[in-house]
Amino acid sequence: MGRRLLLMTALLAALGASARSAAFVPAEAADLAAGKAKAAEVCQACHGIDGNSPTADFPKIGGQYPDYLAKALRDYKSGLRKNPIMGGFAQPLSSQDIDNLAAYYASQPPTVSTISTHRP
């Protein structure tokens, strides 16, 4: 019963985050099509085209708050946030690229991953 409750809580949180993200995306400030194109060019290999990375090695960013995504990218670009891989990818992004990517990934539905607690 505990696992089921945990899964339901995670699912509801993800759905709530998706609804909140969509509400905060300033449509006039960002171009979702340009964000998708830039995601296909720069981000897709690790984070997936919809921001829901197929592996646990990379964060799922689909459905995240757009302001969080934009700040993270700006911080990687400036070096305030340290990660040599993300810093390298963020460095050539323009301010508009960052806004477009943040809005695009925020508009994507998040997925919930489960971790098996079963041990053989």
- Percent with pLDDT over 70 in the chain: 72
The pTM assigned to this predicted structure is 0.73
Identify whether 59 is part of a domain.
Answer: yes
**For the chain, how many structural domains are there in total?**
1
Identify whether 42 is part of a domain.
Answer: yes
Q: What is the 3-state secondary structure (H, E, C) of the chain?
A: CHHHHHHHHHHHHHHHHHHHHHHHCCCCCCCHHHHHHHHHHHHHHHHCCCCCCCCCCCCCCCCCCHHHHHHHHHHHHHCCCCCHHHHHHHCCCCHHHHHHHHHHHHCCCCCCCCCCCCCC
Q: What is the CATH number of the domain that holds 46?
A: 1.10.760.10
Residue burial 95-115, b: 16+ Cβ < 10 Å; e: rest: eebbbbbbbbbbbbebbeeee
- The mean pLDDT value of the chain amounts to 84
Identify whether 119 is part of a domain.
Answer: no
Identify whether 115 is part of a domain.
Answer: no
Q: Report the distance separating Cα 87 and Cα 80, nearest Å.
A: 10
Identify whether 112 is part of a domain.
Answer: no
Identify whether 117 is part of a domain.
Answer: no
Q: Report the distance separating Cα 29 and Cα 49, nearest Å.
A: 21
Q: Give tens-digit pLDDT for 1-30.
A: 555 655 556 656 666 554 444 444 454 589
Which of 66, 67, 57, 89 lies closest to 76 in space, CA to CA?
89
Range of the domain at 22: 2-106
Q: Give tens-digit pLDDT for 83-96.
A: 999 999 999 999 99
Identify whether 116 is part of a domain.
Answer: no
